[in-house]
Amino acid sequence: MAPRIKIPATKYPVERFTLGNGLRVVLSPDRSAPVVGVAVVYDVGIRSEPEGRTGFAHLFEHLMFQGSANLEKLAHFRHVQGAGGTFNGSTHLDYTDYYEELPSGGLERALFLEADRMRGPRLTEENLRNQVDVVKEEIRVNVLNRPYGGFPWLKLPPVMFDTFANAHDGYGSFEDLESATVEDAQGFFDRYYACGNAVLSVAGDFDVAEATAMIERHFGDVPARPAPELPDFAEAGLTEEKRETYLDRIAPLPAVAAGWGVPDPISDFDAYLPYAVLAEVLTDGDASRLVERLVQRDRSATNLGGYLGFMGDEYQVRNPTALLLQAHLPPGGDAGKVLQTIDEELDRLVTDGLKAGELDRTQARMATRLLQGTDDVLGRAQPMAVLELQRGRPELLNELPKLVSEVTAEKIVAAASTLRPECRASIEVIPGAAQ
C-alpha cells in the first residue's frame, strides 16, 4: 500500500491578549507584503434573534455602516477607500463580522474606525428606516425574484429543526423588519455588541509592539460590558425521515437537497471532522462518487454539491449543524430517485470502503484550498477571530490542513454509516417556470 500523504501544519504566528474591558485580541504578524487585514467579530448571529425580530442580526450589520460615535454617515467608506483599502461585513448563523484590508500604513485608521463603531453606531429613525428598505430589497433580489432563492439554506432548516432559533428565516419577514424600532436596535447593540462579546484580529505587515499600543489607544477606553450568556441551541436528532416540497415560481428545473445531523463541531471536533472529508469524497470533482454516479452515469442530476453548515462555513459554526447534499435535476427529474441513489452509494461506501487513492486525492484538494485561503491577510484575520471567539484556539487555522490529511478511511466509513434515510431531512423544488 502506498504511504498516506503528509501535509504539514502552517506556521503563521499567533499572539493573544485581552484588554481590561474584555475585548479579546489576536495578532498574526507577517512582514512579507505591505498589507494588513483587520477583523472584528461579534458573538451574535441569526440564531440569536428574538421571536418577532427575524432578520434583525442582518439588519443590524447594515446599521453598523451608517455612522458611529464620532463619524457621520458614509465616513467609514470614505476613510477606508481613501487609504486604498476595501471593507465589508457579513452575518452568519453564529456571528457577525466586520473587516478591512488596507496597505499597512492604514492600520491605525482601520483600528480607529472599528473602535468608534464599537462605542456606538448612529441608531436614528432615519438610518433604521433606510436600512430596513435596503434589506427588503436584498430579499427581493436574492430570494423572492431569483430562481432557487434561499435554496437550501433558508428552506431546509425549518424542515430539519423544531426550535425558533434554528428554524426561522434568517433574512427576515417584511412584517418583522418594518416593525423594528430604534429602541429595539439600541437594545440589540447593548446586549450583543459588547467588548466582552467580541474579538479583534489583525494579520499582516505590522510590528506587534506598535500594533498593541494602537489597539490599547483606540479600544482600551471603550466601555466594558460583559458577554451575554450563550443560549443552548441543541436539537433532538431526527428519528424518522422528514421531506417537504415547495413551488419555486421562477425556477426552470427541479432540485433537491438533503441534510443529516453531525457531531458537535466545537465540543466533538474529532468526530465532526470526518464528515467534512466525507462530503468532499461524495461530491468534489468528476471522480467523486456521487458526481460519477448521478451526473455522469445515470444523468439523473445535472450538478451537485456537498458541504457542512447551511452557509458553507464548516469550521466557523456551532451545534447543531448538518452535512448537506444538493442537486439540480434535468427536466422531469425524479428527486426521490436521486435520494435513493445517494442511499445506495452511501451503503456501497460502508460495505466496500474507499477505493485506492480516493481519500488521498480528496484530502490533497481540501488541504490545497485551506492553504490558498490563508494566503490573503483577511484569510487569516477573519477565521482566526472566529476560532478565538468560538473555541479560544485561533491557532487551529494552522492545524486544519494537517488535521484534514490525518482523517482515516475507517473514520470516513463510520461517518457514512450514520447518514441513514430515517435521519434525513430533505426538500424538493418544484419548478414553476416549467409549468
Give the model's pLDDT for residue 3: 54
Give the model's pLDDT for residue 6: 80
Q: Which three cell numbers stand for residue 254?
A: 427541479
Give the model's pLDDT for residue 79: 96
Q: Which three cell numbers stand for residue 427?
A: 426538500
For the chain, which domains are there? 15-219 (3.30.830.10), 242-431 (3.30.830.10)
DSSP symbols for 51-76: TT-TTHHHHHHHHTTS-BTTB-TTHH
Sequence-separated (6 or more) residues with CB below 8 Å from residue 24: 16, 17, 18, 198, 199, 200, 388, 389
Instruction: Collapse the DSSP code of 430 into the 3-class scheme (helix H, G, I; strand E, B; otherwise coil) and give the result.
Output: strand
- Cα angle 157, 313, 94 (rounded to 5 degrees) comes to 65
Using the Cα atoms of residue 63, residue 65, residue 67 and residue 72 in order, give the sign of their dihedral: negative
Cβ 256 vs Cβ 151: under 8 Å: no
3-state helix, strand, coil in the chain (%, to 5): 45, 20, 40
The one-digit pLDDT tens for each residue of the chain (435 residues) are 455 668 889 999 999 999 999 999 999 999 999 999 999 999 999 999 999 999 999 999 999 999 998 999 999 999 999 999 999 999 999 999 999 999 999 999 999 999 999 999 999 999 999 999 999 999 999 999 999 999 999 999 999 999 999 999 999 999 999 999 999 999 999 999 999 999 999 999 999 999 999 999 999 999 999 999 988 899 998 999 999 999 999 999 999 999 999 999 999 999 999 999 999 999 999 999 999 999 999 999 999 999 999 999 999 999 999 999 999 999 999 999 999 999 999 999 999 999 999 999 999 999 999 999 999 999 999 999 999 999 999 999 999 999 999 999 999 999 999 999 999 999 999 999 655
Give the model's pLDDT for residue 1: 46
